[in-house]
Chain A
Amino acid sequence: MMSIPYFPGCTLSTQARDYDSSARAVARALGFELVELTDWQCCGATFPLTLDDSMALIAPTRVLYQAQQSGERVVTLCAICFHVLRRAQALLARDRAMLERINWFTGQEYQGVRVVHFLEILRDEIGWEALRAHVRCPISMRLAPYYGCLLLRPHNEIGLDDPEQPTILHDLLRTLGAEVVDFPYSIECCGSYLTVKDPRISETLALEIVASARESGAQAIVTACPLCQFNLTYPQRNSDGIPILYFTQLMAEALGLSGLGEVR
């Protein structure tokens, strides 16, 4: 069985364990093993947007170094870890002086690894046709694919899909048998970190996204991000809502790995 080094990150090891466990089971069913890095810590959860903030690059560079110990690439699931690590990878590849500065500080010789998202492995290495052959219990639901921000932008560094009209989640969900609904908020921001500073504002944004998906007929929203998952779920606490699911939970259902995809 092929094994791929895997960085779960903090949230998938705690609150979003169902994302982690469903992904591991799906990987196994598809013939590869997600092998957790032996030693890892938080990626920092934010990519520094100022050029003079080398402090904030230390955490992601340490993770990249830890990944380098296991091979030439590392797979992630959390959209935020993916974003932070992929941008840090890109920055350190083009900015030698910064690379040397961080390596000097950490005392570790980071040289370079490739950060990939689990979705890319599904699309680019397994392929939708091959995946379809594994589907045992097709999903008979209308689903709204929700991409959010950090999985797609900025396009020049992330490059996972078209930043304005992505299709990767659409294609995956169709492969699983689901009916995909298009809704205007599928790449709109859920409020991100505003949830710790101005929760009322992020709740307003989130409820608009949920309402739009429901108006389009969706029975659930599908995400790859534990912060989106929280931001869209929590504001629905006092009302009849629709579930916000990780794409791996639906995959576990479709591949007949019962129980693993269960909606909490």
Chain B
Amino acid sequence: MRIVISADKIHSDFVRQIEESSGQLLLACNQCGKCSAGCPVVAAMDLLPNQVIRLAQLGMEEVLESNTLWLCASCLTCVTRCPKGVDLPRLMEALRVIALRRGVTKLDLSALPPELLKALPQLAIVGGYRKYVK
């Protein structure tokens, strides 16, 4: 992938939207990687959680294509450990919300095995709709 870094992107609406919506300063993250080291879902992610932040810091909208946003389980482990006090799950949610508002939908209950669908607790379905559909 060819990466173009520019001051325009770094000061774009995209960056402002992420920061306003999450209440976090992207540049507070110094890329230490502690969040990714403790993330339980990291093995399935195409970008490490700290790499998602890095792309967002640079205003690169390509970050919305990463599966990491959708695999972050909002477990809040990284919030507990970040030495800079960055609330990373809020950043992940801000990115998800931007993608959802652009029309992406990530939940397809009909694709689930029927026996799982029957067994799921109510709160998983309610929560799923709130997290993955707008």
- A residues bordering B, Cβ < 8 Å? 9-11, 14-16, 42, 44-46, 48-53, 56, 78, 80-81, 149-150, 153-155, 163-164, 187-189, 191-199, 201-202, 204-205, 226-227, 230, 234
Contact = CB atoms under 8 A, between A and B. Distances in A.
Given A153-B79, A198-B71, A50 B120 contact: no
A10 B122 CA distance: 7
B127 A46 contact: yes
A53 B126 CA distance: 16
Given A14-B122, A234-B116, A52 B21 contact: yes
B122 A11 contact: yes
Nearest to A199: B116
A97 B104 CA distance: 30
Contacts of B94: 49-50
A226 B121 contact: yes
Given A14-B122, A194-B41, A198-B70, 16 more contacts: A15-B121, A46-B74, A49-B93, A50-B90, A50-B94, A51-B22, A52-B21, A153-B77, A154-B87, A189-B40, A192-B75, A196-B127, A196-B128, A197-B107, A199-B113, A199-B116
Contacts of B21: 50-52
Nearest to A209: B40
Nearest to A52: B21
Interface of B: 20-23, 40-41, 44, 70-71, 73-77, 79-80, 87, 89-90, 92-94, 97, 106-107, 109, 112-113, 116, 119-128, 130-132
Contacts of B74: 46, 49, 149, 192-193
